[in-house]
Amino acid sequence: MDHHHTPAMFIADAPGLDFLNSIATPVDVPVDWISDGEGLLDWLEQAGLLPTAAAAAVRERVTPGELDAVAARARQLREWFRGFVDARKGRPLTPEDLLELKPLNRLLERDESFSQIVARDHDGAVHLELQTSRHWRTPESLLQPIGTALARLVCEEDFTHIKACEGHACTLMFVDRTRGRARRWCSMAVCGNRAKQAAHRNRRRA
């Protein structure tokens, strides 16, 4: 299915997991939202990880071939991190898990972020705030906001509460923030509804 006509899914309640969910099977056909360079730019914009002005500047400066190469690296990063999360979801991380995160730390080392003081309007009152920005000088810089999102997932989320959707053939993951940690589905409208229909059919057969 063409990712360019399908809005990306953001159901994980954590940007790092939303990145893993950038390949999914929302209905019956798998969709990869970062199957090429343009898809990567679109997904980063939809995720709020790339300002629109920065995306336009990258499109002007970088060739489609360079963008496609970075998208391929993003997909490799996605599958490597999926393995890390799959092996550890449902339990707290330990200092030993840090050994497996060397590729992520190597990516973060190359970041070109910087801080600036900016004026922000809050309900008519202007305040000065420290804002982190990033130089988007190379195609590889597009991987940096993803790396930061993955690092935040590792450092700020309790992996005990990371779950995989129980839907048949669904690959989506999420952080369960519900009371009693009772969430089972990526979405009640999709997998939850399918499970209800299947249970109803089984009851009728019985």
Residues in the chain: 206
pLDDT tens digits along 105-117: 999 999 999 999 9
Residue 146 CB partners (closer than 8 Å, separation 6+) = 19, 44, 49, 74, 77
Give the single-character DSSP code of 113: E
pLDDT of the residue at 72 = 98
pLDDT tens digits along 23-36: 998 677 889 999 99
CATH of the domain at 188: 1.10.3300.10
- The whole-model pTM stands at 0.88
- For the chain, what is the radius of gyration of the CA atoms? 19
> How much of the chain exceeds pLDDT 90, in percent?
77
pLDDT tens digits along 160-179: 999 999 988 888 999 999 99
The residue segments making up the domain with residue 198 are 3-205
- Report whether pLDDT(3) > 80: no
* Nearest partner of 162 among 190, 180, 181, judged by Cα: 181
Distance CA 143, CA 140 (A): 6
Q: Which residue reads 């590729």 in tokens?
A: 103
Please tell me the total count of domains within the chain.
1
pLDDT of the residue at 2 = 57
pLDDT tens digits along 127-153: 999 998 999 999 999 999 999 999 999
Looking only at Cα atoms, what is the longest distance across the chain? 66
